[in-house]
Amino acid sequence: MKKMATWILLVVLGLALAGCGATARGIRAKSFSERSDVFSEIEEDERVLHGFVELVIRASVKSHLEGFYLLEQQTLHGKPEYPFLLNIDGQAVTWEVAGQVEDSPNYDEKGRKNPEGGQGMRYVLIKKLQLKSGLHEIFFALPGENKTVETTITLTLNEKELSILEFKPIYYRYGGPTFERGVSRLEVFLDGKPIQ
């Protein structure tokens, strides 16, 4: 009986690890560009060319400080920089964003628990891109998380309209959501409205 329980445990563990490995390979594959003509990063004061769309990418993630968990040494949590991966129609970029130590209140003004309350490292991504108007497949991931955190959306972007695409983290909820446990998934907003 003990042998059977051990085998079942090993099979379940093996399947879980194989699934994680497949997802990590998927992120690795999306981090390579198949093309380079989809978008370009532009400066804040730069004007968008005719036939193109201005797309602002925003994301903000808070992680615990380095050394918060005794045995967690291989992660990027709390490190000086944190990676954000974007792939639009096969063109990929990974931005390494500098973090800032942040100490936020544990509760909001209404007395509710703040998922980002406490001392941690805040990483804020704001990038302005120009790309052709039309239909686009957008893949966004946080390769620095222990568990794969990614999302893929399809958007139609119209010329002469500024679009703001924002990725907001949803933190793990054991006993209530908190940034100290890592990002569980991403919510996606286009111009302030949820799209996923």
Please state the pTM of the whole predicted model.
0.79
The reply to whether 84 falls in a domain is: yes
Please state, in angstroms and rounded to a whole number, the distance separating the CA atoms of residues 172 and 179: 7
Binning pLDDT at 50, 70 and 90, where does residue 179 land? low
Indicate whether 139 belongs to any domain. Answer: yes
Whether 61 maps to a domain, the answer reads yes
In our burial notation (b when 16+ CB lie closer than 10 A, e otherwise), range 63-102 reads bbebeeeeeeeeebbbbeebbbbbbbbebbbebebebeee
Q: Does residue 99 lie in a domain region?
A: yes
% of the chain exceeding 70 in pLDDT:
77
For the residues 146-173, what does the mean pLDDT come to? Answer: 88
Query: How many separate domains does the chain show?
Result: 1
1 located within any domain: no
Instruction: Read off the amino acid at residue 44.
Output: E
pLDDT value for 17: 42
Domain with 37 in it: 31-194
